[in-house]
Amino acid sequence: MKNLKNISKYLRGYIGLVALALVLPACDIDEIEDPNNPTIESVLENATVDELNNLVVGTESGMRNVLGTYYDNVGVIGREHYRFSGADPRFTSDLLGFGSSILDNNTFYTTNPWAARYRVVKNTNTLIDAVNNTNLVTDEQKQGYLGFAKTIKAHQLLLNLTMMNENGIRIDVDDFDNLGPIVNRTEALAAIEGLLEEAKQDLSSAGSSFAFTLSDGFDDLITEPELRNSASPSDFLEFNRAILARVNVYQEDFSGALQALDESFLELNNNFAKGAYYIFSTGPGDQLNPLFFARNATGEVRLAHPSYVSDATPGDDRLGKVALRDAPATQSGLTSQYDVALYNSNTDPVPIIRNEELILIYAEAKIQTGALPDAVTALDIIRTGHGLQPYSGPVTSEALITEMLRQRRYSLYFEGHRWVDMRRYNRLNELPIDRAGDDVWVSFPIPFSELDV
């Protein structure tokens, strides 16, 4: 795999086609001035609104790269699903620790998600540099670009930290020829929080509208759809605060999480789907939803872990996230008769963060700050919203944490949280082991190519 330094080669091509450049192999490109496809050097000095907007589009597009591998990593280790592949047995060996298998620091499931997220970080850094070196946009417009870039940068770093955990990540990658050190989880979370706070200040000074148009994936956040057709800086700030609330619970800063939620798009009702999404289409050069596999497929399939069904409460409508197959599928001693069925087509959107997660963050923060009745109220919004009776168990912190984790398991199924949640509460030993000798990993290793940097 390419060293992280070499990621910059992907971006030395034509910035106007960033979304495509991200999936092309690295190569040397002659530096030829092309007014229709400006080079990275040209946008770093007096970039126009159109050039900056191309960077925004490329940044948002790149967020979708290698999502399938990321969700398979955290979902398989978290025992949410099995990933059967006729081409690669490592989904059922390495990720599950079968026999003597361990996580490999020099193979696709480690290196590809890591590199994809840092490609987007590189794009955000380019956007920040370009904004700071142009006189062709207003101060308010600059603040909008900076708030967008720093928020997305923080989110992408958080995804890599989710995988690497205590092994840490690089925060300082502004100069790809002189990378900063890999920092531990605590330092990384603090740096990510700092980026989100900087972005908040930028967005608060960005006026009433962006100079760019966000994708339809942010339409849910538009507060005045009768007046605008794209999310505004204040709308996007609510997304920023939602991501911060997630960061805060990872930091065990539960008072901070509640404060962030107050400024987010949280609604304490059953508008569970409201949120920000990755979007996909069949358009030329666009991407399809990598999490969609047709039901009853063979060869390449995602199957619900059997415990998702067997552990469920009867009547829970979240069982609709899986579908009974015509025939069970088996590979490497693993069997399931249920497909993962969250998506009905290859153009369905995938959530980045939803109101349902925010309600559950609210419940968790209320438990951890001692406001147990408020936590029960939030958990009952989730339970009754999915066809269950209100909570009737003990109203103690221990019991409510178990209930909160259970609701997160079913509400946020296949959205990248189960492994992280059980790890945060030191409950990885509660995840099912399907074969004697299988392991539940705590962290992914730092990619081999990073060890000599």
How many Å from the N-terminal Cα to the C-terminal Cα in the chain? 14
Residue 276 contacts residue 216 (beta carbons within 8 Å): no
Q: How far apart are CA 390 and CA 136, in angstroms?
A: 57
The 10s digit of each residue's pLDDT in 29-53 is: 333 344 444 566 678 889 999 999 9
Contact 378, 359 (CB under 8 A): yes
Q: Given a cut of 90, is residue 1 above it in pLDDT?
A: no
The residue segments making up the domain with residue 317 are: 301-340
317 within domain boundaries: yes
For the chain, the domain total comes to 1
Q: What is d(CA 415, CA 171) in angstroms, rounded to the nearest whole number? A: 24
Nearest partner of 47 among 275, 250, 252, 211, judged by Cα: 211
Tell me whether residue 135 is exposed, middle or buried, using C-beta atoms within 10 angstroms of its C-beta: 0 to 12, 13 to 18, 19 or more. Answer: exposed
pLDDT value at 20 more than 70: no
Amino acid letter for position 192: I
Residue 96, in any domain of the structure = no
Q: What is the pLDDT of residues 217-229, one digit of tens each?
A: 999 999 988 777 8
Cα 395 to Cα 143, 367, 391, distances in angstroms: 46, 10, 9
Question: 161-178: b or e for each residue (b if 16 or more CB lie within 10 Å)?
Answer: bbbbbebbbbbebeebee
76 in a structural domain? no
Q: Residue 39: what pLDDT?
A: 61
Q: What is the pLDDT of residue 379?
A: 98
Burial class (CB in 10 A: 0-12, 13-18, 19+), 338: buried
* Residue 453 banded pLDDT, cuts 50, 70, 90: low
pTM of the model: 0.92
d(CA 195, CA 169): 15
pLDDT tens per residue across span 404-443: 999 999 999 999 999 999 999 999 999 999 999 999 999 9
CB 136 within 8 A of CB 53: no
**322 lies in some domain:** yes
**Cβ(295)–Cβ(323) below 8 Å:** yes
Does residue 332 fall inside a structural domain?
A: yes
Q: Is residue 415 part of a domain?
A: no
Render pLDDT for 176-218 as a digit per residue (tens, 0 to 9).
Answer: 789 999 999 999 999 999 999 999 999 999 999 999 999 999 9
pLDDT at 18 over 50: no
In a domain, 383, yes or no: no
Element housing 275 (H / E) = strand 275-278
- 251: helix, strand or coil: coil
Instruction: Kindly report the number of other CB atoms within 10 A of residue 104's CB atom.
Output: 16
134 located within any domain: no
- Whether 4 shows a pLDDT value over 50: the answer reads no
What does the alpha-carbon distance between residue 197 and residue 154 come to, in Å, rounded to a whole number? 10
